[in-house]
Amino acid sequence: MNLNINFNNTYSSLPEQFYERINPEHFAAPKLIVFNQKLATELNIGWQETTDQELAEIFSGNKILPGSEPLAQAYAGFQFGNLVPQLGDGRAHLLGEVAGFDIQLKGSGQTRFSRRGDGRSALGPVLREYIVSEAMHVLGVPTTRSLCAVSTGEEVYRQDGPEPGGILTRVAKSHIRVGTFQYFAFKNDLESLEALLNYTIDRHYPELAAKNKKDQALGLIDKLIELQSDLIAQWTSLGFIHGVMNTDNFSMAGITIDYGPCAFLDEFKFDKVFSSIDRHGRYSFFNQVPIAKWNIFRLAECFIPFIDENTDQAIALLEKNLGEPLEFFDFKRMKALAKKMGISDYQTSDEKLVTQFLEYLEKESLDFTLAFRELKNLYHSPSDFFPKSQEFDEFQSLWKNRVKNVDELDQINPLYIPRNHLIQKAIDEAYTGNFDFFHRLNEVLTHPFSEKTECEEFALPPKPSERVYQTFCGT
């Protein structure tokens, strides 16, 4: 019995310069690893009558369902600050939209945007994205989601030799990026730029539809500032480092997109970097705020033609308009961290206390997640978790005087997050053909805030032998 998906194809009704129409490649022996029944049901996908093998054929792209119009999207971007006029989906196929959400295969073969890439994905990054994106969703972070993961039965060649291939089915509010606007802006294709602006507003920000072009452009920038500043505050409060905040990975819908070399902090460090390719720390933990602002400016540049025919005046207006809203990024990040300390009515004067705590964590190399989780205990009784020092005593007394809602903290500070070594263990075991730990980890991450005695190992930081020092794009 076929899977029942009611596809809509709004992106494919955009002009042809927005994409390449292309089907996924054929894969030798796809096998189902996981199908997210809950998400499928939310999307109104009738899956109950479909066998695992049929799901594997569909979500490897071997079988194209009726109504699907596969395409690879065009986009550009600044990668590590360098302009790349054409990137695009080099290994992804949008199958269509369901209930307003994109259904996209990732790792499904070459397209005209593949450049030198093989169009494929190794299984490791597929499992990583599945675990992390679903965990982020449970933690309340706007994100792409994962509907399905399959192995392809083929090998892909990466830096350490052959690895099993995999394909992820990604679900997103959309895959429009700042880089999608840049693609047309770099070409000076104003007609397409305007079509994209209209499409983005229709799809995500219909409240801007009635405005003139200039106000639509300014309004869209404001919306993005609002959503992205919330998003990055949430990342910060979980110790999440995205790892590649290039403009092509910066969503116009304000969601987390592209889980490549992402990672969660174990011990706290302001400028922590995991990604092997981030040599200068451009995308380090605390640099995510300045980089997000930088990305917003890159979007604003695309809109110059809509703002004023005089470029200098347009830039002056944008700079004036953006200055104040961009401060939200810093404010919301601090507010989110303060909330984790039980300060629910954050004032800018609290920044000192928050920073004092973080500096102490850094100095003592304490685990970020567990340190915040321990604050509730610290409030009620002495805690062995925190090494004693003069700084600590000083912090403790200031904090105890300031804290408000300490008893709510177990709902704010998770105990179980997708720690790097847990993800690595799930991948290592999967590479031997055993998916038990992968499934178990996904299950534990469905209740990040509720402690369960049988889940103790999932709350612990890595042992020295388990520590992950670097993460890779896996591309």
Give the residue numbers marked as catalytic.
248
Closest approach of Cβ 102 to ligand AMP, in Å? 15
Residues 6+ apart with CB under 8 A from 270: 284, 285, 286, 358, 362
Q: According to CB under 6 A, which one of 5, 95, 108, 120 is a site residue for ligand AMP? A: 120
Q: What is the CA radius of gyration of the chain?
A: 23
- Output phi, psi for 177, to 5 deg: -120, 165
Q: Which region, judged by CB under 6 A, interacts with ligand AMP, from 22-30, 116-124, 135-143, 449-457?
A: 116-124
Q: Which is nearer to ligand AMP, 50 or 247 (CB)?
A: 247
Among 30, 88, 96, 342, binds ligand AMP (CB under 6 A): 88
Q: Which is nearer to Mg ion, 110 or 356 (CB)?
A: 110
**Which residues have CB under 8 Å from 441's CB, separation 6+?**
131, 418, 422, 423, 425, 426, 458
Q: Which is nearer to ligand AMP, 246 or 284 (CB)?
A: 246
Contact in structure between 143 and 136 (CB atoms under 8 Å):
yes
254 versus 260: smaller Cβ distance to ligand AMP: 260
**How many Å apart are CA 417 and CA 426, to the nearest integer?**
14
Does position 87 interact with ligand AMP (CB under 6 A)? The reply is yes
Phi, psi dihedrals of residue 92, rounded to the nearest 5°: -140, 150
Report the nearest approach of Mg ion to the CB of residue 246 (Å): 7
Measured from the CB of residue 249, what is the shortest distance to Mg ion in angstroms?
A: 4
For tokens 């509907």, the residue is 147
If the CB atoms of residues 85 and 117 are measured against ligand AMP, the closer one turns out to be 117
**In angstroms, what is the minimal distance from the CB of 249 to ligand AMP?**
5
Q: In DSSP terms, which residues pair with 166 in a beta bridge?
A: 151
3-state DSSP call for residue 269? coil
DSSP letter (8 states) at residue 409:
G
Single residue of 34, 56, 244, 273 touching ligand AMP by CB under 6 A = 244
Q: What is the rounded CA–CA span in Å between residue 2 and residue 46?
A: 9
Residues in region 256-275 near ligand AMP by CB under 6 A: 258, 260
**Judged by CB under 6 A, which stretch of 118-126, 190-198, 444-452, 459-467 contacts ligand AMP?**
118-126
| Selected binder of ligand AMP within 119, 342, 414, 418 (CB under 6 A) | 119
Give me the least distance between CB of 84 and ligand AMP, in Å please.
8
Distances (CA, A) of 209 to 198, 202, 204, 254, 303: 8, 7, 10, 18, 16
Task: Give residue 98's identity as a one-letter amino acid code.
Answer: V
Contact letters for Mg ion, residues 242-271 (x by CB under 5 A)? -------x--------x-------------
Q: Name the closest residue to ligand AMP (Cβ).
A: 117
299, 184 Cβ separation under 8 angstroms: no
Cα(251)–Cα(99) distance, integer angstroms: 19
Binding site for Mg ion (CB under 5 A): 249, 258
Binding site for ligand AMP (CB under 6 A): 87-91, 113-114, 117-120, 244, 249, 258, 260, 473, 475
